[in-house]
A and B are shown apart, each in its own frame.
Chain A
Amino acid sequence: MMFPFLRKAISNLFSKPSTENFPAVNVEAKPNYRGRIEYDPEKCVNCGECVKVCAPEAITRTYEDLGDGTRKGTYHFNLTSCTFCGTCQDFCSTNAITLTEDYHMVGDAADLFTEGSWIHKIITGKLFCGADCIFCGMCMRNCPEQIINVDRKTKTWEVDHDRCIKCGICQSKCPKKCLDFVEEEDWAAAEKAKAEALVVKEAEEAKAKAAKLAAAKAAKAAKEAEAAKAAEK
């Protein structure tokens, strides 16, 4: 046949068009579509990983000093610069960034932004673990950077100070509230205090241990005596 589409054209003429009635009826994006970025400042720990991994430099962070020892940090997600690759979402350790299925990103370029800000205390100094530590490992498990290392058996607590982002999560998660950020000049004093406290604690512990041992001995003796009594009968 010379015109292979002739029959198709005529049958199309009498069949329903396959056009979606789009602006009148909204069309949902397919699952896992990566659209408009949503940012939850409540969850954000300001680790800055998303800024680092963003290839087109769409994510920027600005600070505004509020003066009373706190500052306001803002994350800007420029949607007209984004490639919607989802790397920021993958790297965010607290799931503060999500790429939603909303694709209606149309309008003035100045409006195509996602922003979120939070206010936090300006933290300076280095992370210090006090003498009350029970080596439970809560700080290790909650650290977004995974730089705290706790070993219960050997009773060691280590942190990589160079990689610490001073988010303060460990501080808030610590059950004994023994973590603190200590300035460089106060470091020696803190160490000293900790050592003294440890000595006291050790002495107390030794005392407690001795008392426990004595109690156990007494209990054992009493038990033996009771057993001897029973044998006599």
Chain B
Amino acid sequence: MFKKMIADSMSKSPWIYHVNTGSCNGCDIELVAVLTPRYDAERFGFKLAGTPRHADIVVVSGPITSQSKERLLRTLEQVPEPRCIVTLGSCPQSGNVFKGSYSVEAPIEKFVHVDVAIAGCTPKPEAVIEGLYKAAMILKEKREAMKK
């Protein structure tokens, strides 16, 4: 029963940690918009955590500049299991208009496995909620897989 409660709670209280890897700030604004009264992601228990140690879902935005790559990987290492990685916008997945720049390490898939990708430039807050909700469900599956 205790285990089931933990697994159920996993998807109901996902805490978000947001990493900006050189984003233009568009996606970051939309992520914050998700917590505003109009969209109110706290209905599903979403909360912005201050540190990666408290996080369940890591939201990455930006095209991963060479400077921020090392920091991103170090941040991701500090997130306790089970965790989910969500990319926000086109930039982390492909580099978007910065593709081919000498200072951009674009596809994040080179370094880590991404669970949910939210496409858009920038995505609508509704799409962000949808993506985060999907990530929360994956979190539950991961927790159930962890204990087997």
When A and B assemble into the complex, do they touch directly, with CB atoms less than 8 Å apart? yes
Main SS class of interface, B: mixed
Contact for A83 among B90, B117, B124, B127, CB less than 8 A: B90
| A35 / chain B contacts, CB cutoff of 8 Å | 120
Interface size on B, residues (CB 8 A): 31
Q: Beyond A55-B97, A103-B120, A103-B123, is A109–B38 a contact (Cβ under 8 Å)?
A: no
State whether the Cβ of A29 lies closer than 8 Å to any Cβ in chain B. Answer: yes
Q: Beyond A19-B43, A20-B39, A83-B96, is A105–B129 a contact (Cβ under 8 Å)?
A: no
State whether the Cβ of B95 lies closer than 8 Å to any Cβ in chain A. Answer: yes
Interface size on A, residues (CB 8 A): 29
Residues of chain A in range 14-63 having any CB-CB distance to chain B below 8 Å: 17-20, 22-23, 27, 29, 33, 35, 55-58
Q: Is the CB of A84 within 8 A of B120?
A: yes
Q: Is the CB of A82 within 8 A of B117?
A: no
Residues of chain B in range 96-129 having any CB-CB distance to chain A below 8 Å: 96-97, 99-100, 109, 114, 116-121, 123-124, 126-127, 129
Q: Beyond A57-B99, A106-B134, A109-B114, is A80–B39 a contact (Cβ under 8 Å)?
A: no
Q: Is the CB of B126 within 8 A of A79?
A: no
Contact for B129 among A23, A55, A57, CB less than 8 A: A23
State whether the Cβ of A69 lies closer than 8 Å to any Cβ in chain B. Answer: no
Contact for B37 among A17, A78, A82, A83, CB less than 8 A: A17
| B120 / chain A contacts, CB cutoff of 8 Å | 35, 84, 103, 105
A50 → B minimal CB distance (Å): 16
State whether the Cβ of A112 lies closer than 8 Å to any Cβ in chain B. Answer: yes
Q: Is the CB of B121 within 8 A of A83?
A: yes
Nearest residue, chain B, Cβ from A106: B131
Q: Beyond A29-B124, A81-B90, A108-B117, is A56–B99 a contact (Cβ under 8 Å)?
A: yes
Q: Is the CB of B133 within 8 A of A23?
A: yes
| B93 / chain A contacts, CB cutoff of 8 Å | 80-81, 109
State whether the Cβ of A104 lies closer than 8 Å to any Cβ in chain B. Answer: yes
| B77 / chain A contacts, CB cutoff of 8 Å | none
State whether the Cβ of B81 lies closer than 8 Å to any Cβ in chain A. Answer: no
B110 → A minimal CB distance (Å): 12
Q: Is the CB of B109 within 8 A of A109?
A: yes
A81-118 interface code vs B (CB 8 A; 1 in, 0 out) = 11110000000000000000001111111001000000
Contact for B99 among A79, A81, A109, A112, CB less than 8 A: A81
Q: Please, how many angstroms separate the alpha-carbon atoms of A142 and B91 in the complex?
A: 38
11 further A-B contacts with Cβ under 8 Å, apart from A81-B95, A106-B134, are: A18-B38, A19-B38, A22-B129, A55-B97, A56-B94, A56-B99, A81-B99, A82-B121, A106-B130, A108-B116, A109-B109
